[in-house]
Amino acid sequence: MHQYTILLFGPAAAAAKLNRVVVESADLCSADQLKDLVSLQFPDLDVYLQAGRLAVNQSFVAGDTTVLADDETALITMVSGG
C-alpha cells in the first residue's frame, strides 16, 4: 500500500480545514490519478484540484508523471497578490 501526503496552502487548506491530506493507493499513482483520489476522499477540494497543479519535490509535474509515496507533494492553487 502506498500512502501519499499532499500539502495544502491558501484557499485549499481553508476549504479542507487541514494543511495536508493523506490518501492511500494499492499501486503507484500518476499526478492525475493522485488528484482523482484526493477528490474522491475530500470532495471540498475538487474545485481546487481542477484548477490547481501538483508540485512534486518543489517542481510542477505533468499529469502522467509517476509520484512516489515519499515524494514531497503539494497542491498549488491560484494565488493573487498586489
User: How many other CB atoms are found less than 10 A from the CB of residue 81?
Assistant: 3
Q: Provide the whole-model pTM.
A: 0.91
pLDDT in tens, 42-80: 999 999 999 999 999 999 999 999 999 999 999 998 766
* CATH code (residue 22): 3.10.20.30
Beta-ladder partners of 67: 29
What is the domain extent for residue 49? Answer: 2-76
**Is 62 among the domain residues?**
yes
**Is 29 among the domain residues?**
yes
pLDDT attached to residue 78: 76
Residue pair 76/60 in contact (Cβ under 8 Å)? The answer is yes
Q: What is the mean pLDDT of residues 1-27?
A: 95
**Is 45 among the domain residues?**
yes
**How far apart are the C-alpha atoms of 26 and 74, rounded to whole Å?**
20
Which grid coordinates are listed for 19? 494543511
Taking all residues of the chain, what is their mean pLDDT, rounded to a whole number?
94
**Is 82 among the domain residues?**
no
pLDDT attached to residue 54: 96
Number of domains in the chain: 1
Amino acid at 29: C
**Is 11 among the domain residues?**
yes
**Is 81 among the domain residues?**
no
